[in-house]
Structure 1
């Protein structure tokens, strides 16, 4: 049996995954353009040199030029455009890609991030919990301000990071909390506001519980 979860939520936006999306979009266009070129070459009429002055040859070349235009538009533009739209739609805020990334806290106080290539764990027992604001920019997503929690493990698990960040879009009310504005931060997963505060409350509760137990 697997571990039981005290909390299970899902990401709202995979900001670090934007680099992967851009690479996939580039690959889509390159493959489709090469495919369009290959199809166009394959469709070129194979006519003997002695027949190239005939009326039939001229008609076949006129037809080929029309086909080549259709191939360029269909395979070289429409198909990669539709694939790019589908990929971008899936990776939007709240889209299917982000919803495949699970953020969970087990009943023994371990934070786990899994799915879509993620596989991170961090014990919340005795962890330091800090919050700050970060201004981020990510290509098509534009620029916005995040409210972030930084979870720093008291005893990092072997092979796992000693700290993890989780974020949510900042709102005006966050500016009244005097949270420090930090620059030069790397990208991290973003949760919606409700999920963020559920994780934050649990992280603080586990940390406080350990402090109380260790002081006995």
Structure 2
């Protein structure tokens, strides 16, 4: 019995074992109060009938202690114990997944949760970007719609401007034809006529320049 309990090292461990054995139905109610903690553990274990049963109880208690310490260490590292129920088919798939990833089922579940979290964050970011682009596109369409109204209002002015440009172009062509005709019939314009024609052309060219329609440098000799 002494060798079987050699793994018990301190009073804190004894207290945990005493409570564990009591939960299993092995109490120390009739034990001496002045006895040491380890002696009380021995007394509780002796409640099991036969040495074989006592040995099995000690081994079971030792395994429970080691498990509790392992759980305590994992909790200090940020892990928690989670108990849950899943279907047999889900358990089968989980085992297969853990085998493929060459890890425990616990690690496989953790990886699945982390991957799902990353995917959710990625999708959320993509949705945010798509919403921003959609809002920008709607704003552009709104501006275009307002511009359409402005263009309708400005159409008469544009038509009037086009008519003026055509009229000025026609005048310039007519004046150019007059010059060509005069030269063709060997009847050159006198100085006063040339000045009059040049002034009219310069005036119309200047008008086009002021309206930003024409950018030319014309010189008549």
Q: Which has the larger radius of gyration?
A: 2
Higher fraction of helix? 2
Which structure has more relative contact order (CA 8 Å, sep 6+)? It is: 1
Same-fold call, TM cutoff 0.5: no
What is the TM-score with the length of structure 2 in the denominator? 0.22
- What TM-score results when the alignment is normalised by the length of structure 1? 0.23
